[in-house]
Amino acid sequence: MSPQASGLRARAADKKSHNLEELADKAKVVRRHIIRMISEAGSGHPGGSLSMVEILVALFFHTLRHRPGEPDWPDRDRFLLSKGHGCPALYSVLAETGYLPVEELMTFRKLGSPLQGHPDRRLLPILEASTGSLGQGLSIAVGLALGARLDKRSCRTYVIIGDGESEEGQVWEAAMFAAHQKVDNLTAIVDCNGIQLDGFTRDILDMEPIVPKWKAFGWHVQEIDGHDFSQIFAAFKKAASTRGRPSVILARTVKGKGVSFMENNPAFHGKAPTKEQTEKALQELS
Amino acid sequence: MQEFKLGPATRDAYGETLLELGKENPDIVVLDADLSESTRTKKFGNTFPERFFNVGIAEANMVSVAVGLARAGKIPFISSFACFLLCKGYDQLRIGVAFPESNVKIVASHGGISIGEDGPSQQSVEDIALACALPGMWAVVPADQAATSALVRKAAEHVGPVYIRVGRPKVPIIYPDGGPFELGKAFVHRLGKDATIIANGLLLAEAFKAENLLRQKGLDVGVIDMHTVKPVDEDAVAEAARVSGALVTAEEHLLTGGLANQVVQAAARTHPVPIECVGIRDTYAESGTPEQLMEKYGLTASHVVRAVETVVQRKKRPSPVLAD
């Protein structure tokens, strides 16, 4: 699906229009958390956290069937962050949905905190997996989805991977396996923000054209604007109704989205803002 | 001299036990990476196709899919050759299995050099070291059919990651009547007055042969089956060190990072005594018959005998006085 033309997009927008403003506000709140957390910690990954905020907000405030008061609910939809360095965004959304006290966000990366530099299930058991070594989350998500299928649960598994992360060979092992097993209770979202640690993905190891790659691996493929809630909802809906094969949503996003000097700037892949930059960022996000 | 009847390979015992476990527990799932014929997981796969996943030749994916299945409440057993499973899946074992303490059972076949002719790319001399290096990972090397069957069952009951090495060749029957096997608890056959051999896997039979040969030479030697390398049974090591005053370790593995490493540390912590170690020196092996390789790389009863004689000599010598 092209980002422009979509009847589904319009329908989803109509249905959820009463919500869209609220969700946009929520995204702003989450972005402010991200900036404050990383600033307070003095380290972390702002760029790839900011790029997937709308996707996470759409999942946790709209699409996922989950119960923050009952995190072990067996029929919950599963969510897994494979690009673990983006965890400030995940922690913030978990706090905003009631899984964590909001105050706890400021303990990010500090000794004894459950909010480790990369997601750690030992200390934060509500996570589906510990991640941080790239390339493994899609395989784990396939395992979660197969487990749900064996138990005949109707839940769905969602996983976010990075476009840089997709350079890992294991992503494609998992892609082949999921298609072969017809794992259709799985939606993978690729946060295509175009930047990895050392620079622009197109310069380091170009994954384009990415759409035909996923199609050739047997997946149902959609390409959307990853900051447009109506497109995100429409894509989630279409993915969930796809039978016989797994679904991937290639979300075109802007690394560092929402903070002018971080947008499309490889320098903010893994660097904390200075005090002045933090203030400027928070002003822009107010 | 004590003769052992030849029994099935430990991989055969694994395959049979897995099938039984599958019948008893619907949560057991099995994954293999295109070696199910060789690892013997195929029997499970034929009987329970819906709970068996052949992931193809993609070990890394196999390990991580098992992590997801474990999180979904299943008890995944994953199998391949030891060298491929440990080396190609190591980062996945590290961050997916060991680090979050996932309930995944790793049963790797074709451990050691006794696979023979396929040569060093398929042999596994470092798998125990790799498994032991992962925090929280248990590492087990059973010696025969009964031990394998019992320890695979214990691993299924144990909550947490367990690595079990099984082998290709038919092996001597050490435990015709079975026996009590507990993960982390050594099977102490006897403690010797002169020395005790602490062995596992294929070297356990060699240890018993050595014990007999040494008895003819007037030495009283005991044998311990240290099937669980990690966590090592420190009490058993300490007791053997106290009673025997000298120890020999014997394993089909590099001398670095395996049984020798664990026993030496345990003795050093509890009751330091002279220790000699039988195992593979710092090298890969080659193609050949299993017997030729075990002889060439120093893994037979006669090698164990020499190690015992050496350690007994060392025990008799007065403690060395350190020069300035």
**Separation CA B54–CA B66 (nearest Å):** 12
Residue B96 in contact with partner chain A when CB distance is under 8 A:
yes
What percentage of residues in chain B have a pLDDT greater than 90? 96
**Is it the case that residue B319 has pLDDT exceeding 70?**
no
Residue B103 in contact with partner chain A when CB distance is under 8 A:
no
**Separation CA B167–CA B151 (nearest Å):** 14
Q: How close does chain B come to A176, measured CA to CA in Å?
A: 9
CB A99 within 8 A of CB A68: yes
**pLDDT given for residue B322 in this prediction:** 58
**Is it the case that residue A14 has pLDDT exceeding 70?**
no
**pLDDT given for residue B317 in this prediction:** 83
**pLDDT given for residue B2 in this prediction:** 60
Residues 6+ apart with CB under 8 A from B315: B194, B195, B245, B246, B273, B274
Model pLDDT for residues A225-238, shown as the tens digit of each residue: 999 999 999 999 99
**Is it the case that residue A1 has pLDDT exceeding 50?**
no
Phi, psi torsion values for A153, nearest 5 degrees: -90, 145
Which residue has 């229009």 as its token pair? A17
Model pLDDT for residues B193-234, shown as the tens digit of each residue: 999 999 999 999 999 999 999 999 999 999 999 999 999 999
Name which of A121, A135, A173 is nearest B58 (Cβ-Cβ).
A173
**Separation CA A80–CA A158 (nearest Å):** 6
Residues 6+ apart with CB under 8 A from A141: A78, A80, A82, A157, A158, A159, A174, A186, A188, B68
Residues 6+ apart with CB under 8 A from B219: B192, B194, B195, B308, B309, B312
pLDDT bin (cut points 50, 70, 90) of residue B320 is low
**Is it the case that residue B20 has pLDDT exceeding 70?**
yes
Model pLDDT for residues B186-195, shown as the tens digit of each residue: 999 999 999 9
**Is it the case that residue A87 has pLDDT exceeding 80?**
yes
Which residue has 């480790």 as its token pair? A116
Q: Identify the closest residue of chain B to A141 by CA–CA distance.
A: B68
Q: Identify the closest residue of chain A to B94 by CA–CA distance.
A: A133
Chain centroid to CA B321: 38
User: What ipTM does the predicted assembly reach?
Assistant: 0.94
pLDDT bin (cut points 50, 70, 90) of residue A19 is confident
pLDDT bin (cut points 50, 70, 90) of residue B75 is very high
**Is it the case that residue A116 has pLDDT exceeding 70?**
yes
Residues 6+ apart with CB under 8 A from B265: B232
Residue A131 in contact with partner chain B when CB distance is under 8 A:
yes
Q: Where are the beta strands (DSSP E) in chain B?
A: 6-9, 28-32, 52-54, 75-79, 105-108, 138-140, 162-165, 170-172, 187-190, 195-199, 221-225, 228-230, 247-254, 275-280
Residue A139 in contact with partner chain B when CB distance is under 8 A:
yes
Q: Which residue has the higher pLDDT, B1 or B129?
A: B129
Residues 6+ apart with CB under 8 A from B132: B139, B229, B230, B257, B258, B261, B262
Helix (H) or strand (E) holding A161: strand A157-162
**Is it the case that residue A13 has pLDDT exceeding 60?**
no
Model pLDDT for residues A261-285, shown as the tens digit of each residue: 999 999 999 999 999 999 999 999 9
**Separation CA B209–CA B3 (nearest Å):** 8
Nearest 5°: the CA angle A177, A162, A259 is 160
Model pLDDT for residues B293-302, shown as the tens digit of each residue: 999 999 999 9
> SS3 for A7?
helix
- Set of chain A residues whose Cβ sits within 8 Å of the Cβ of B61: 139, 142, 170, 173-174, 177
pLDDT bin (cut points 50, 70, 90) of residue B3 is confident
- Set of chain A residues whose Cβ sits within 8 Å of the Cβ of B56: 173, 176-177, 180
* Both tokens assigned to A95: 């706090």
How does the average pLDDT of chain B come out, rounded? 96
* Both tokens assigned to A71: 């995190």
Give the length of chain A: 286
**Is it the case that residue A62 has pLDDT exceeding 70?**
yes
pLDDT bin (cut points 50, 70, 90) of residue A16 is very low
Give the residue among A57, A33, A17, A27 at the shortest CA–CA distance from A108: A33
Question: Mean pLDDT throughout B130-137?
Answer: 98
Nearest 5°: the CA angle B111, A129, B155 is 35
pTM, full prediction: 0.94
Model pLDDT for residues B97-109, shown as the tens digit of each residue: 999 999 999 999 9
Question: Mean pLDDT throughout B57-75?
Answer: 98
**Separation CA A152–CA B63 (nearest Å):** 23
**pLDDT given for residue A2 in this prediction:** 45
**pLDDT given for residue B246 in this prediction:** 98
Q: Which residue has the higher pLDDT, B12 or B317?
A: B12
CB A145 within 8 A of CB A185: yes
Give the residue among A94, A103, A88, A95 at the shortest CA–CA distance from A272: A88
CB B33 within 8 A of CB B58: yes
Residue B121, Ramachandran bin (φ over 0: left; ψ between -120 and 50: alpha; else beta): alpha
Name which of A128, A143, A151 is nearest B65 (Cβ-Cβ).
A143
Question: Mean pLDDT throughout B2-17?
Answer: 94
**pLDDT given for residue A38 in this prediction:** 98
**pLDDT given for residue B324 in this prediction:** 53
Residues 6+ apart with CB under 8 A from B164: B14, B105, B106, B107, B108, B140, B141, B142, B148, B151, B152, B155
**Is it the case that residue A159 has pLDDT exceeding 70?**
yes
**pLDDT given for residue A11 in this prediction:** 41
Give the residue among B68, B67, B71, B76 at the shortest CA–CA distance from B48: B76
**pLDDT given for residue A15 in this prediction:** 47
Question: Mean pLDDT throughout B231-241?
Answer: 98
